[in-house]
Structure 1
Amino acid sequence: MIATDFQPFSIVEDTGFKKYSQALNPSYIPPSRKALAQKVTDMYDRETASLKRRVSKVPAVCLTTDCWTSRTTASYMSVTCHFIEDFRVASCLLDCFEFSERHTADNIAQQLLSVAAEWGVDKKVVCCLTDNAANVTKAIQTIGWTHLPCLAHTINLVVRDNLQASKPIIDKVKEAVEYFHRSTVGAQKLKETQLQMKMEELRPKQDCPTRWNSTYYMLKSFIASKNAIISTLAVTNAPVRHLSQEEWTTVQEICTILQPFEEVTVELSAESYLTASKVAAQGVIDSLCASMSLRFHRIHANHILADTAALDPRFRRMAFPDGRTADETFQRLSTAAARISSDTPIQQQPAVEGLEGAGSGAGSIVWSYFHEKVAGTVEARNPTSDAVMEVRAYLEEPLLPTHEDPLKWWECRAPVYPRLSKLMAKKLCVVATSVPSERIFSKTGQIISERRSRLKPKWSELLSSLMQICPRTRKRQKKP
């Protein structure tokens, strides 16, 4: 209730809550404010310890981070962690804490290292995703981690740059939208007009520069109520500039152009499935406008993104624009897989069903010498050649349909590709955007509400973590 429903601790002292509790159960005595706070603290400690045990078992993690200022002008920093667990994508919030120091690269680096060390992942970080802020980028470089810019931020910058040519038309749309949001007469008349025209009651959405795709959503909602808006503006004699028919056509064309950008941003901002492997996939890049080539120049030269695309069974070589880049990537993966086979013992796979014992003489004295000789041969094999053979066999597999889950594919093929499956867990944990960190702030903004504006940073940090943990904990407990 406190974490998930954004209720203040003082709710147990409210007259209405006490009367409601008494009506349900006259003998029930609500806990005191202090006792309730202690229960929340105990729950946080218990769930955090459980998460730390899970994270300690994974071979590699990807982090995202971002900063935010609350309504009380307190500055916060969030750090999220993403990893592959039992061939499933998993994520958790490591910390969301008050960051009162200056946001210099050194201070940010120190905080990131502190959080990573506390959770025991400082040596497991494959990469860290952030927005394009120079101080955060420099902080990650100072630590020595691999930095990846948030793809959603990059797309947003591309869209913003290319919308400058249509700025006069978009400004007209903004004027009309703002009129309907500030004028009660205009908003009511628009609603009545929509009902008369048997249209859905929609108030045009406002544009927000810091919200990705918000311009697209504004224009789309504006077009959806085109006839009602034209009629309402004429009847109310609104003090806004009207769009000509040619400008209405341009707005429709802009929506058509922006739709692929919106789809890509939404798809790559998810946390429940693999996203980074799609960034370097040639089909995704080709679907975007040519203007993105400047910001995505030589994207396949980024080893992190190239490796994730190569190890995604939906793409493999198809993710690369030329054979040379693909060859370099798979050569690099072969070398990495060879190191895994030499550093990590590979479990002997069970015999194929139907062969063992079926006239093979597996348990006879006659075959015992042969099996010992074969076992010696297996142990003496070159790890590098084994890794190369795995990569070659992996490349000959048919491509997985794009709607299929690549991790389920790896779960089935792990016995066939033991080295690559271990390497996959270290590569495919990478996410494409820093959106997970920003989602934390959207929820934290609800925690630090007007009614809870006096909430101390300690409690906002704790409740932010519990809000992320509690729903997933309940879901896990339902499993048999």
Structure 2
Amino acid sequence: MEPVAKRGRSEMWEHFNLISSNKVQCLVCHQQLAYNNNTSSMLRHFRAKHEAGQAAASIHGDRKAKIDEALVNMIVKDSQPFKVVEDQGFRALVSLLDPTYVLPSRQTLKSMVEAKYHEEKQKAKEKVQKATAVALTSDMWTFIHMDSYLAFTCHFVDEGDRLATVLLAVAKFGERHTASNIASVKGSIMEEWGIPKSKVMCLTTDGASNMTLCSTMMEIRHSHCIAHALNLVVKKSMKLTPGLEEVRTKARDIATHFRTSTVARERLLCLQKQMGAPCAKLIQEVETRWNSTLDMLQRLYEQREPVGAALAYLQTDISPLTSNQYASIGQCIALLAPLKEATVELSAEKHVSGSKIIPMVKMLRHTIAAKQRQLTDDTARILGKHLLGLMHEKLGNYELAGQHALATLLDPRFKTMGFCNPTNQQNAIKKLIAETATVIRQQSPAPSHDETPSTSEDAP
């Protein structure tokens, strides 16, 4: 319950909470006072009991500044609402920890967070502008309520030779998703951050035609995101495998049932304990993320015995998976697991991944081919066949991409070992030699025209 009119007019409400229509409580000493729709009694109490303490506390302004900063960091890092400073429990906790500290109002806290945002953004701008070269990544997505957003991120090596990442913007995108509109928004963001095109080595996006054309219009080298390319390969391979599609449909139905039915969930938990299985919930796949399909199948395969027993006990109309289908799941998991590991490795932000793409694709092709030879299940064999075919079709071009090939050659861990095609390897070596020669010529001092070449007659 809050005072109707005067709370916003008096600073006393920074130190008192209204606990009933006619009582307030001091947040410093917790004493209760009568409240008659004015703050006179609160003012008298505070001056008599706490004002000296407040004056003493003002001497320690550095401590207040540190607590203010910690409060702002808590709001930002934990995504807390500004109204937390009005919550009675939180105010009481802060008062107990430091009776001399006065929590800011909701509006003041909002201003503090905004000031911190501008301060940190300025620091980030300075780091970006000091970088000699940057790489950019961007993505677009649409929420269920049809609002679209564009994320734009900058990657560079900072002055301490550390890989750094700065999120430039997450902008609501209200225009049509044309290459021209996307290029306009990205160009505005780059201008705001002081990033000239000459400093941008590469722009990585998904392989959509509008994204590729956007890079062309911006005159920035484009790279197709390897994680997105892998996602397309796996999703298409799964859809081309009829037996796996049937298994996925059943698995989704089973996962949905146990996630939405309290009775089913409790029965599964009971059977997990009885059978000594991990007490873990089933996972529902997300259509846009193939690795969630793998997670769903792995969890269901792990829990196949308690799930089967629970379905038999519950006598539902949910169709259980057969032993042959579980065998298919086990072998399909063996094929898909390396692709998930590669996706995680290539999506990391804390280390450079460009030089890993070509050897990672080679490793995946060899690994899946080796597993393919050991498969006994027809569904898994079909999946493996499609994975290998689509990887050759969709991922083979990375060896032809100059920046990826050069990065692999220059990485001492891989050099020429990462290439699948010897011709691509030799072409990359020639390109590296040519570019190295160009750099040497550019860095060599031009000959001075003032110098006169010596002759035999000039010699002593």
Q: Supply the distance in 1 between the matched residues of 2:123 and 2:230 (Cα, whole angstroms).
A: 37
Which segment is superposed worse, 188-197 or 59-68?
59-68
What letter is aligned with 1:245?
S
Tell me if 1:333 matches 2:432.
yes
Flag the structure with larger Rg.
2
Residues 1:315 and 2:414 are matched in the alignment = yes
Alpha-carbon displacement from aligned partner over 1:92-140 (angstroms, at most 9, x marks no partner): 1111222222322111101111112222323211111112333222222
1:140 corresponds to which residue?
Answer: 215
Corresponding residue number in structure 2 for 1:179: 257
Whole-Å separation in 2 of the counterparts to 1:159 and 1:182:
28
Map of 2:363 onto structure 1: 283
From the superposition, tell whether residues 344 and 112 of structure 1 become closer, same or farther in structure 2 (CA, over 3 Å): farther
**Which residue, out of 57, 77, 80, partners 1:4?**
77
Matched, 1:213 2:291: yes
Q: Quick one: structure 1 residues 119 and 335, their matched pair in 2 at CA, closer, same or farther if it must change by over 3 Å?
A: farther
Aligned counterpart, 1:117: 191
Pairwise mapping of residues 288-367 of structure 1 onto structure 2 (< 5 A)? 288=368, 289-291=387-389, 292-344=391-443
Is the counterpart of residue 22 in structure 1 residue 100 in structure 2?
no
**Are 1:279 and 1:285, in contact at CA under 8 Å, matched by a contact in 2?**
no
Instruction: With a CA cutoff of 8 Å and minimum separation of 6, indicate the structure with the bigger relative contact order.
Output: 1
1:282-324, Cα deviation, whole Å (9 max, x unpaired): 3344335412111113321111211111111111111223444
Structure 2 Cα separation of the partners of residues 118 and 343 of structure 1: 32
Q: Could you report, residue by residue, the CA deviation over 1:428-459 in whole angstroms, capped at 9, with x for unpaired residues?
A: xxxxxxxxxxxxxxxxxxxxxxxxxxxxxxxx
Superposed displacement of residue 42, structure 1: 2.3
Asked if structure 1 preserves the Cα contact closer than 8 Å seen for 2:235 and 2:290, the reply is no
CA deviation profile, 1:179-199 (whole Å, cap 9, x unmatched) = 101111111000000000111
Which whole-Å deviations, capped at 9, do the CAs of 1:192-218 have from their partners, x for residues lacking one?
000001111011111111124011100
* In 2: Cα distance, 1:103 partner to 1:13 partner: 42
Q: TM-score, normalised by structure 1?
A: 0.68
Q: Match of 1:57? A: 130
Moved more, 53-62 or 101-110: 53-62
- Matched ranges for 1:27-38 at <5 A: 27-38=100-111
| Residue 150 of structure 2: aligned partner | 77
Q: What SS is found at the alignment partner of 1:190?
A: helix
| 2:417 counterpart SS class | helix
Give me the whole-angstrom Cα distance separating, in 1, the residues matched to 2:349 and 2:280: 30
- 1:286 and 1:225 mapped to 2: Cα distance? 30
Instruction: Give the structure 2 partner of residue 392 of structure 1.
Output: none
Task: Report if aligned partners of 1:82, 1:89 keep a CA contact under 8 Å in 2.
Answer: yes
What letter corresponds to residue 288 of structure 2 in structure 1?
Answer: T
- Per-residue deviation, residues 14-42 of structure 1 (Å, max 9, x unmatched): 33322222222233211122322222222
Letter in 1 for 2:150: M
The answer on whether the counterparts of 1:278 and 1:284 sit within 8 Å (CA) in structure 2 is no
State how far apart, in whole Å, the 2-side matches of 1:56 and 1:344 are.
24
Q: Given the alignment of the two structures, is residue 168 of structure 1 paired with residue 246 of structure 2, yes or no?
A: yes
Matched, 1:130 2:215: no
**Counterpart mapping for 1:69-468 below 5 A:** 69=142, 74-85=147-158, 86-121=160-195, 122-164=197-239, 165=241, 166-281=244-359, 282-288=362-368, 289-291=387-389, 292-344=391-443
Contact 2:354 2:404 in 1 (8 A): yes
**Map of 2:114 onto structure 1:** 41
Counterparts of 2:367 and 2:155, CA distance in 1: 27
Tell me how far apart the structure 2 counterparts of residues 322 and 265 of structure 1 sit (CA, whole Å): 22
Structure 2 residue matching 1:314: 3-state secondary structure: coil
Secondary structure at 2:171's aligned position in 1?
Answer: strand
Distance 1:55 1:341 in 2: 27
The residue matched to 1:179 in structure 2 has which SS? helix
- Cα 1:13–1:340 shift into 2, 3 Å: farther
Change (3 A) 1:192 1:214: same
Task: Quote the Cα distance in structure 2 between the aligned partners of 1:283 and 1:176.
Answer: 34
Deviation at 1:276, TM superposition (A): 1.7
Secondary structure of 2:407's counterpart equals helix
Aligned residues of 1:152 and 1:212 also touching (Cα < 8 A): no
Residues 340-397 of structure 1 deviation map (CA, whole Å, 9 limit, x = unaligned): 3444579xxxxxxxxxxxxxxxxxxxxxxxxxxxxx9xxxxxxxxxxxxxxxxxxxxx
Give SS of 1:129's match. Answer: strand
Aligned counterparts of 1:21 and 1:75: Cα–Cα separation in 2: 40
2: CA distance, partners of 1:111 / 1:262: 33
Partners of 1:342 and 1:231 lie apart in 2 by 74
Q: CA RMSD in A?
A: 2.2
Cα distance between partner residues in 2 of 1:139 and 1:323: 33
Which region of structure 1 is more displaced relative to structure 2, 97-106 or 165-174?
Answer: 97-106
Structure 1 counterpart SS, 2:189 = helix
Query: Percent of aligned pairs with the same residue?
Result: 33
Amino acid at match of 1:286: H
Within 2, Cα distance between the matches of 1:50 and 1:140?
28
- Letter aligned with residue 367 of structure 2: S
2:141 alignment counterpart: 68
Cα separation, partners in 2 of 1:326 and 1:133, compared to 1, 3 Å: closer
2-side partners of 1:123 and 1:202: how far apart? 51
Which amino acid in structure 1 is aligned with residue 363 of structure 2?
G
Instruction: Measure the CA separation in 2 of the matches of 1:189 and 1:136.
Output: 49
Q: Residues 249-301 of structure 1: CA distance to partner in whole angstroms, max 9, x if unpaired?
A: 11111111111111111111101112121111233443354121111133211
Q: CA deviation at 1:333?
A: 2.3
